[in-house]
Amino acid sequence: MPPTMDVLVSLAKRRGFVFQSSEIYGGTGSCWDYGPLGVELKNNVKRVWWRDFVQQRADMVGLDASILMHPMVWKASGHLDHFSDPMVDCRECRHRFRADHVDAVPWTHYCPATKENRFTIPAGEPCRHCGARRTLCPDCGKGALTEPRPFHLMFKTFMGSVEDSAAVTYLRPETAQAMFVNFDNVLQSMRLKLPFGIAQVGRSFRNEITPGNFIFRTREFEQMEIEFFVNPSDTVDGRPADEYWHDRWIEDCLAWFRRYGLRDEALRLREHDKDELSHYSKRTVDIEYEFPIGWSELMGIANRTDFDLRQHAQHSGKALTYFDEERRQHVTPYVVEPAAGVDRALLAFMADAYREEVVRGEKRVVLRFHPELAPVKVAVLPLLKKREDIVRTAHAIRADLARHWRVVYDDTAAIGRLYRRQDEVGTPYCVTVDVQTVGDAGKAERGDGRVTIRDRDSMEQIRVPIDEVVGVFTRLIAGEAWSQVAAGRGATGDPPEAAG
């Protein structure tokens, strides 16, 4: 059973993933703060994305542009004139809705067939008693809604000390435009040949009419975007290069989400209809994920043609072209844009990883994160916290492992409970130091210098010499299967798991 959003929100708060922003003042609408584990998870999402799509590819480079850009950028991009959503207001309770979302929420109905009884009816469904469909405000069920009006989504601000119209600028609503306005800088400085892409990870801001659903839709969020430039005169496998690369990026992005754990059956592609396409787009495909709120966009992959480069060339008066040596002509590249939200990806990874299992008659909550995403890779746990030699050895192992990964030490409960705590935050491996490891000086018994490594998913355990621990985790965290790494190593019996 996938978790509900309430379950995720509560786990996220309780275990230090995500807190409501400015909570002690009553919270800031739709703003969230990433806590100690949340920031690790988020950094991991961004790090593997950057590694896989930038570092490992010969045809990609990166960029980190400023959030405040020249206001003309937004004129040229079309955002000033077009970046709005249709909104409707309730004339009674004044609540505001995105016109295209108003039927996507449950609605309040005072049913005339049942003496005006108040019902909450599932989104998009008619009343079971009178058959009516929603026409009034879904929240209060009484007020009529206004006609749709455009609502501008960019946050306006002022640059400098004077708040006049000459100083108006905007917080960027997407990271993409920086790649277009820097196209020539990047091309010339890096001596690139088409096709190539520019990637950026950074904050974007949209004054959403109806933010909500936890970190799914917020007013401040992070994006991981790529602008992949291709020569429109080229063909690949007999197809126009932009169409070929569009399909390639759809496949690569889908494979990326699968690789880090999203289940196949919870992912699907959605092709935008012609009348839904943005003004710049030749074709757009969304990757949708079955979030706790239902199927929704996880990322979009658009073929933006040469619209952006042409617009910026026209508004800035600077050439934004590429010299095609073979054809001896200047061309304006087409661009394919895979655009993902960091927060939405994180929410999908969390929802997909969540499991409730029954182990020895007890409920176990576990986040089965891919090891590369897990906020903590290893927890080092002493079996007896009163034994100074056990504690010392555990601290030394933690310090050694922490040179490579985020590793924690915990001795604040019995071992069984410590394992459950680590399961609940998705730590893939635990290391336990016990009497067998260090021996017992009082009885003149020497330790075997081995520790127990426990696997989160199978709960199996193996004994490993301390000086091999780093090597074992290097293999496991790089993705090698537990069964393969564990093969040939003595499994321990039950003790540490059962000891709680």
Phi then psi dihedrals of residue 152, to 5 deg:
-75, 135
Q: How far apart are CA 187 and CA 171, in angstroms?
A: 26
- Residue 240 burial (CB count, 10 A): 18
Biggest alpha carbon–alpha carbon distance for the chain: 86
- The answer to whether the CB of 453 falls within 8 A of the CB of 429 is yes
Window 59-98: contact mask with ligand ATP (x via CB under 6 A): ----------------------------------------
Under the binding rule (CB under 6 A), the answer on residue 437 touching ligand ATP is no
Please give the Cα distance from 274 to 187 (Å, whole number): 33
Q: Is residue 201 within the footprint of ligand ATP (CB under 6 A)?
A: no
**CB of residue 62 to ligand ATP, shortest distance in Å:** 18
CA distance 83 to 74: 9
> Closest CB to ligand ATP among 202 and 341?
341
Residue 422 Cβ vs ligand ATP, minimum distance, rounded to whole Å: 29
Residues in 324-343 that interact with ligand ATP by CB under 6 A: 339-341, 343
Strands (E), 206-321: 220-230, 235-236, 239-240, 267-271, 283-291, 294-305
Interface residue with ligand ATP, options 11, 230, 299, 453 (CB under 6 A): 299
Q: Does 134 bind ligand ATP (CB under 6 A)?
A: no
For 47, other C-beta atoms within 10 Å of its C-beta total: 14
Three-state DSSP state, 238:
coil
Question: Does 344 help bind ligand ATP (rule: CB under 6 A)?
Answer: yes
In angstroms, the Cα distances linking 272 to 269, 277, 278, 286 are 10, 6, 9, 8
Please name the residues in contact with 424: beta carbons below 8 A apart, sequence gap of 6 or more. 11, 15, 365, 366, 367
Output the smallest distance, CB 316 to ligand ATP, in A.
23
Site for ligand ATP in 145-174 (CB under 6 A): 174
Which of 474, 472, 397, 482 lies closest to 433 in space, CA to CA?
A: 397
CB of 210 to ligand ATP, least distance (A): 10
Residue 221 within binding range of ligand ATP, rule CB under 6 A: yes
Q: Closest distance between ligand ATP and the C-beta of residue 216, in Å?
A: 6
> Which of 52, 103, 184, 297 touches ligand ATP (CB under 6 A)?
297
If one asks whether residue 175 binds ligand ATP (CB under 6 A), the answer comes out as no
**Residue 290 C-beta: closest distance to ligand ATP, Å:** 15
User: Can residue 246 be called a binding residue for ligand ATP (CB under 6 A)?
Assistant: no
Among 113-121, 292-300, 307-315, 464-472, the segment contacting ligand ATP (CB under 6 A): 292-300
Binding site for ligand ATP (CB under 6 A): 174, 206, 208, 217-218, 221, 223, 297-300, 339-341, 343-344
